Chain A
């Protein structure tokens, strides 16, 4: 196995938990090209003809299947833009694993901009797991800008877990969702930034249907000289429930801004926003030190637990 294969294998494992060729449907994108692809009986993956990207078509009623669509950049000076559209059939219940890893050893900036659109059929259920990492010792920046657009049909449910824990120099993460009657959109985000990194998260959720709901939970740690911005916009346009929560630990010279914007356009909309930003409580460190941890070990334990 040559060096590139090792890098690729390690990134695939990190972003998509893949050790080998995945079961079920998958599409692996490498340096801006589709490297391998497999459709299953219920999940069809087809290349777009008008722009880069794929359509993933999940048949109604598909249960207990998964789709893996990792994107890997291992070269410097790659500027990848991809559109992946998921059409989830009525009553389907599936797991989608996406994610992007950039290994940039060169001096040029490499970036991946993935635009993922989900069209959820009635009563469908999706768990969407997305991880972003950057690595490589080059001076070139690693930039990942994911966009997720969700159209949640009646009584559908989507839970998105999105994680970026290291190595991405700059990211603007946009998630937009519209929820029809009875639909639920849950987003759980974990971000750790360090060095001079910048991470911006922007949620825009329209709760349009009666009984729709959303829960946006962001936990983040900003270390060293990194900066983060968290914007959460929830529009309650019907009888609905919306909750967003931004919980951040700042360390060193880290800066975090939280900007909630909740609008109730209907008298039966119930919306809550919570934001808490602060350094690690001194008493937490003291408690762990009384258990024998050093101050640095205590800090690491608290951060790991917070982002677990």
Chain B
């Protein structure tokens, strides 16, 4: 098993208690944008948990993907207020800009396009996240500009 230095770093930072599991997974996720099989196995070993338990916990949370994702993850809010403000147009604009469908990752592993539940910017919809950064009051043009900014 190849050791992921990120897991080791995270364990060093947060400790080996069960309550550290989320911060550890979040740390690794921030570095890699997904949790690999090896990452989860290593976390399981460090925290003395079964790997199924680590996987089961991670997969509960939408922001802890266990499938490989792009370097930048775009999450367009699909909750009702953003829906009313035409989030579909935003998704279409991004889809054609990146030439991928919603849910897919670009072949160069740069971007993944996803939908997500309420981001808490309902008064400024449509909204999206690119990794941790928020973009609000989007128009198709602004969405494309945001992508370009992240290229």
Asked if A and B are interacting partners, one says no
Q: Give B contacts to A, CB under 8 Å.
A: none
Q: Give A contacts to B, CB under 8 Å.
A: none
